[in-house]
């Protein structure tokens, strides 16, 4: 189906959302107005940044040193980020009974901070840390205190934050960083409780998303190019079941051929207008 790439008409989306039972899938585009860039937009971080892969992280101590040194600075920026109008609008739509579920590809926790409930974090959350040996989970804030203590003289400036919490740092600074092990077992490798590139989303989490879509009347995609299969498969699943797929995103998406309507607007503006129309 050919969609008008520049349409700004929200009325068709409002008509579907008004009937309720809509499952929302959000991507990095909903958090750009909170100061966290997306991966694939016009200024997306993938143009200049290579994300840490699961294989690189588990393969070498130097890879983990690189990740934690850069993420140590980047996480602080994400932790300070505040929900924007888009996040608040999703929470409002849920509170008013229009949504049957919220699924996010983001790891920033901003939907919950805005008041959304029972959010399925498809790729996890940077606020949690997991040991690859135990596997014990713990709060990122506690790890941050331990890393500060282990690196009292560590200095660096986060010149660019990425959606995965990584920042750009010179190798000379990275090599001075001390990584700490799991406190519970004493030796385990700590990893943020997020799905790295090259890592699979846990199957129970995927199945929960499929059940949400099966119980929904429609699907609304917000701020995702749907380039990666982790989110795109749910669009295909909804379309195959005959449920209308609606997309609000700045730029074309992989899901456009499956969409009944796509709006090209900034998320904060579009979702604020959408809530006003309902």
- Interatomic CA distance for residues 10 and 277, integer angstroms: 9
- Number of folded domains in the chain? 1
Residue 64 included in any domain: yes
CATH number at residue 30: 3.40.50.1220
Q: Is residue 1 part of a domain?
A: no
Which residue range forms the structural domain that includes residue 140? 11-277
Q: Is 77 annotated as a binding residue?
A: no
Query: With contact defined as beta carbons under 8 Å apart, do 189 and 58 qualify?
Result: yes
The number of residues making up the chain comes to 278
Residue 48 assigned ligand-binding role: no
pLDDT in single tens digits along all 278 residues of the chain: 444 555 889 999 999 999 999 999 999 999 999 988 765 445 444 444 567 899 999 999 999 999 999 899 888 878 889 999 999 999 999 999 999 999 999 999 999 999 999 999 999 999 999 999 998 999 999 999 999 999 998 876 655 666 667 777 788 888 999 999 999 999 999 999 999 988 999 999 999 999 999 999 999 999 999 999 999 999 999 999 999 999 999 989 999 999 999 999 999 999 999 999 99
Judge whether 262 lies within some domain.
yes
Q: Which residues are catalytic?
A: 123
User: What does DSSP say about strands 190-194 and 124-131: parallel, antiparallel, or unpaired?
Assistant: antiparallel
Does the annotation place 269 within a ligand binding site?
no
């Amino acid at each position: 189906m050919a969609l008008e790439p520049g349409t700004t008409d929200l009325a068709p989306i409002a008509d579907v959302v008004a009937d309720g039972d809509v499952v929302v899938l959000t991507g990095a585009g909903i958090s750009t107005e909170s100061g966290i860039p997306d991966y694939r937009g016009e200024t997306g971080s993938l143009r200049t940044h290579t994300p840490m892969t699961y294989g690189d992280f588990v393969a070498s101590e130097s890879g983990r040193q690189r990740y934690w040194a850069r993420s140590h600075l980047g996480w602080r920026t994400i932790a300070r980020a505040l929900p924007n109008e888009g996040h608040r609008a999703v929470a409002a739509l849920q509170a008013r009974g229009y949504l049957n579920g919220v699924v996010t590809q983001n790891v920033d926790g901003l939907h919950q901070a805005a008041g959304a409930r029972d959010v399925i974090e498809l790729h996890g959350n940077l606020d949690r840390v997991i040991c690859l040996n135990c596997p014990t989970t713990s709060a990122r804030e506690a790890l941050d205190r331990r890393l500060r203590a282990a690196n009292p003289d560590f200095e660096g400036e986060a010149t660019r934050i990425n959606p995965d919490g990584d920042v750009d740092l010179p190798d000379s600074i990275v090599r001075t960083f001390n990584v700490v092990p799991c406190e519970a077992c004493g030796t385990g490798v700590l990893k943020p409780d997020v799905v790295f590139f090259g890592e699979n989303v846990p199957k129970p989490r995927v199945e929960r998303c499929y059940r949400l879509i099966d119980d929904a009347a429609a699907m609304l995609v917000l701020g995702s190019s749907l380039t990666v299969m982790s989110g795109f498969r749910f669009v295909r699943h909804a379309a195959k079941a005959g449920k209308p797929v609606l997309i609000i995103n700045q730029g074309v998406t992989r899901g456009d051929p499956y969409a009944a309507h796509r709006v090209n607007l900034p998320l904060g503006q579009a979702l604020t207008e959408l809530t006003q129309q309902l």
